[in-house]
Amino acid sequence: MDELVKVRKQLALEKKEKSKLKSDLALARKNLAVQKKEIGKRVAELRLANKEIVFEALEKEKRAAELVIADIELTFQNKEKDKREIANKELEVLSHSLKLASQYSRSLLEASLDLLVTISASGKITDVNKATIKVTGIAREKLIDTNFSNYFTEPAKAEEGYRQAFDKGFVSNYPLTIKHKNGKLTDVLYNASVYNDDNGNVLGVFAAARDITTQKRIEKELIDAKVSAESATDLAEEAKSKAEKATRTAEDAVRAKQQFLSNMSHEIRTPMNAIIGFTKVVLRTNLNAKQKEYLTAIKISGDALIVLINDILDLAKVDAGKMTFEQTPFKLAASISAMLHLFEPKVDEKNLQLIKAYDERIPEVLVGDPVRLHQIILNLVSNAVKFTSKGKITVRVTLQAEDAEKVTIEFSVADTGIGIAENKLGKIFGNFQQATSGTGRLYGGTGLGLAIVKQLVEPQGGSIHVQSKLDEGSTFSFSLDFLKTQASAEVDHEILDLDNDIKDIKVLVVEDMPLNQLLMKTLLDDFGFECEIAANGKIATEKLNEKTYDIILMDLQMPQMNGFEATEHIRKKMKSEIPIIALTADVTTVDLEKCKAVGMNDYIAKPVDERLLYSKIVGLVKKPAPSVEQKEVIDHLTKEIKCINLQYLNQRTKSNPVLMMEMISLYLEQTPPLIRAMKQSLIDKDWMTLHATVHKMIPSFSIVGINVDFENMAKQVQEYANSQLNMEGIPLLVAQLENVCLQACSELQGELDNIKKSIK
């Protein structure tokens, strides 16, 4: 193309030259022929060049088309290359995954504790796991391509097993025994099934075997153990029979022991009752000095013998599990003081000091067992007095700890007596033990006091300790927990002095022993009371049908009809409410609950303390019922002081007047019917209904702020109604409860009216 342009330019130039040379044609004619030749030649060249240009253009177009095709081919090839690379990567990943899966599958197979084997249709092993190698003791490469049945104690049975798998598709729990190359045998259970290719063609059998050697051993041991157990059971039954027989023998021995102690108690106390009783009677008569000295010696010896009997029987109670601990309100300070007064004569006689150190932080009223506490301290103080000839005895009562519900109190008794050797401290709390063999001879005693103390302290959750030095003295200390209470303590029977003005009491004494009959008659004559004797319960009931008495003193152990039977007859058949006091020499088995159950009001132990007997008789017979004048005094006292306090009710209702009105209205609605039911049940002597009715009344006392003393009165009514003791005191208590509840109703009605006015 460039050549053509050049040519054209050249032609144009020549044309111009021709024009220019026209004038100079003449000059140029000479060279015209030459120029024509040159021009022709040049035209031919130009034509040839033009052809070449066209050819080249065609070639270029052809090459351009080829380039387009090549570019398309290259693009396609690049795409195919990318696809191949992706496919290769995917293939590599898949190959790696398959490799990992194969390794994982293999690791699972190798990790299996069961023996795993694959078997070809010809019975050759194609693969195994490590468990199989371990059990056979043969390497994998040596196992593969060998006969499966070669490694069992029963090759034919092994072959039959895998043949069944090929025939049926599986075999389960097929028992075989594998032999290790060193001769060790392993019992296995085989489970086998066929495996197929993708077209369902059977390739071989996959067999899994579980080692059951241990299981078979255990089964054998179990069978052996069962046989042994059956044999042992027979032996155990025989041993049990022997043990039960021994237990019955022991229980019979305990019962025999208890019966012996009971009988001994009764047999010893009965004559002692007469000895001590008549000694006291004679001591009250005119005697010369020698007679009084001899009788006093008899009384002291009798008292000592009773202490000995009490110690032995208390220990027997502990051994028999019959020692019980009450939970009653009592005043600790007053109780300790009264108890220590008992030792004042002996302390003065020995010219000793008796010091009481009492912690005033201790609450006035506590809940516990004052009788057992007295017994503990009496034993300790008695020992201190016995073994101290000079110096002092200190009884210390200290508050150790206190919370909202209970207090912990430490009691200690210290003396300046003979002391105890350190090597003897460990045994002094044993039965019949004293510090030395000479102690009993010099000071007397059974050696049971401290044993009883230990047996009384520990069941209550306490422990007793001793510190002592020879010739310097001893300190015994123990701690006990007591519950706190807002209740008032019941007053013990007051020991009354003989009142010569009280002579109109008629007493029926039911006693089978003539000596005791005479003693009781003598004592009652001294009191100025009328006395009649009945030798047994049957005679007593006959006398009650013929004559009226104020009180009965009832012995428990009598022929024909004993005291329990007689009392039950008097209460249930004769419907009599006459007071009955039980007399018993058997303090081991006396059952106070049984006394209460049959209707006895109280009991007194033999030998009889005449002052206690007098106090109990007068207390039961002469306790007055509320008179008209007394009721008027009660009415005056309860009405004079406002009996309700609505502070608690305000707190509970958050001073919500509507709620206050609702609660007051409920009290006014429920209380009058309860009062009527309480009075009617008292009239009907329906003690169960009385107990239930008063129980319903008690919660409302605190709600409306009635003084806690009335709540305690209600609880006393419950107790008396439940036990049917001290029933002569119930009418006065019921009258007081009626008055306070009626007054509360009156005051609450006023409060209700005021609240209604305030919200209008």
CA atoms within 13 A on the CB side of 640: 6
Task: Kindly report the CATH number that applies to the domain delimited by 324-481.
Answer: 3.30.565.10
In three-state secondary structure terms, 515 is helix
- Residue 69 makes CB contacts below 8 A (sequence gap 6+) with none
User: Would you give the DSSP letter of residue 426?
Assistant: G
Pick from 466, 465, 460: which is nearest to 482 by CA?
Answer: 460
Per-residue H/E/C for 582-605: EEECCCCCCCHHHHHHHCCCEEEE
Statement: residue 462 has pLDDT above 90: no
Beta carbons of 328 and 490 less than 8 angstroms apart: yes
* More confidently predicted of 709 and 475: 475
Backbone angles phi, psi at 502, to 5 degrees: -95, 100
pLDDT bin (cut points 50, 70, 90) of residue 493 is very low
Largest CA distance in the chain: 218
Kindly provide the residue ranges of all beta strands, DSSP E only, lying in 20-157, ordered along the sequence.
115-119, 125-128
Query: Which range, of 267-271, 291-295, 736-740, averages the lowest pLDDT?
Result: 267-271
Pick from 459, 455, 378, 371: which is nearest to 411 by CA?
Answer: 378
Q: Tell me the torsion sign for CA atoms 627, 631, 634, 636.
A: negative
Radius of gyration, CA atoms only, the chain:
60
CA distances from 307 to 5, 272, 406, 441, 587 (A): 163, 12, 34, 17, 13
In tens, the pLDDT along 504-520 reads 899 999 988 787 788 78
In tens, the pLDDT along 193-222 reads 888 877 878 888 888 888 887 777 777 777
Number of Cβ within a 10 Å radius of residue 584: 22
Q: For residue 548, give the amino acid letter.
A: T
* Cβ neighbourhood burial of 58 (10 Å; 0-12, 13-18, 19+): exposed
In three-state secondary structure terms, 117 is strand
Tokens describing residue 639: 């009405």
Tokens describing residue 628: 């008209």
Q: State what percent of residues in the chain have pLDDT above 90.
A: 11
Kindly provide the residue ranges of all beta strands, DSSP E only, lying in 340-436, ordered along the sequence.
353-358, 365-368, 392-402, 406-415
- Residue 707 makes CB contacts below 8 A (sequence gap 6+) with 643, 740
* More confidently predicted of 680 and 4: 680
* More confidently predicted of 256 and 101: 256
Give the pLDDT of residue 506. 92
pLDDT averaged over the chain? 77
* Cβ neighbourhood burial of 42 (10 Å; 0-12, 13-18, 19+): middle
Q: For residue 81, give the amino acid letter.
A: K
* Cβ neighbourhood burial of 591 (10 Å; 0-12, 13-18, 19+): middle
| Segments in 342-469 forming alpha helices (H) | 344-349, 370-386, 437-443, 449-457
Give the pLDDT of residue 443. 38
CA atoms within 13 A on the CB side of 726: 15
Pick from 743, 740, 742, 759: which is nearest to 661 by CA?
Answer: 759
Give the pLDDT of residue 198. 75
Statement: residue 729 has pLDDT above 80: no
Give the pLDDT of residue 588. 46
Beta carbons of 387 and 414 less than 8 angstroms apart: no
- Residue 386 makes CB contacts below 8 A (sequence gap 6+) with 443, 444, 445
Cis preceding-peptide flag for 607 (omega within 30 of 0): yes
Give the pLDDT of residue 37. 74
* More confidently predicted of 442 and 181: 181
Statement: residue 445 has pLDDT above 80: no
Q: Tell me the torsion sign for CA atoms 650, 653, 655, 660.
A: negative
Statement: residue 457 has pLDDT above 80: yes
Task: Kindly report the CATH number that applies to the domain delimited by 628-758.
Answer: 1.20.120
Query: Which range, of 23-37, 109-123, 394-408, 736-750, averages the lowest pLDDT?
Result: 23-37
Pick from 352, 444, 414, 353: which is nearest to 389 by CA?
Answer: 352
Beta carbons of 108 and 130 less than 8 angstroms apart: no
Q: For residue 324, give the amino acid letter.
A: T
Tokens describing residue 240: 């049990």
Which single residue is written with the structure tokens 């195994």? 128
Residue extents of the structural domains in the chain: 2-105, 112-211, 324-481, 506-621, 628-758
At 532, which helix (H) or strand (E)? strand 530-534
User: Would you give the DSSP letter of residue 152?
Assistant: B
Pick from 478, 451, 474: which is nearest to 465 by CA?
Answer: 478
- Checking 293-302 for CB contacts under 8 A at 24+ apart, the result is 302/272, 302/275, 302/276, 302/607
In tens, the pLDDT along 609-651 reads 777 788 889 888 874 434 444 344 344 434 445 678 777 667 6
pLDDT bin (cut points 50, 70, 90) of residue 591 is low
In tens, the pLDDT along 653-668 reads 667 777 778 778 888 8
In tens, the pLDDT along 230-250 reads 665 666 577 667 767 776 776
User: Would you give the DSSP letter of residue 232?
Assistant: H
Q: Which CATH superfamily is domain 112-211 in?
A: PAS domain (3.30.450.20)
* Cβ neighbourhood burial of 710 (10 Å; 0-12, 13-18, 19+): buried
Per-residue H/E/C for 657-669: HHHHHHHHHHHHH
Fold of 506-621: Rossmann fold (3.40.50)
Beta carbons of 277 and 607 less than 8 angstroms apart: yes
| Segments in 284-326 forming alpha helices (H) | 289-319
Beta carbons of 622 and 527 less than 8 angstroms apart: no
Question: What predicted TM-score, i.e. pTM, was given to this entire model?
Answer: 0.38
Do 112-211 and 628-758 come out as alike in CATH topology? no
Distance from C-alpha of 105 to C-alpha of 419, rounded to nearest angstrom:
87
Give the pLDDT of residue 316. 58
CA distances from 210 to 131, 154, 188, 503, 753 (A): 10, 17, 5, 103, 91
Beta carbons of 564 and 540 less than 8 angstroms apart: no
In tens, the pLDDT along 666-719 reads 888 888 888 888 888 888 888 888 888 888 888 788 778 887 778 878 888 887
Pick from 409, 411, 395, 415: which is nearest to 337 by CA?
Answer: 395
Statement: residue 584 has pLDDT above 90: no
Beta carbons of 369 and 328 less than 8 angstroms apart: yes
Beta carbons of 413 and 395 less than 8 angstroms apart: yes
Tokens describing residue 96: 């790696």
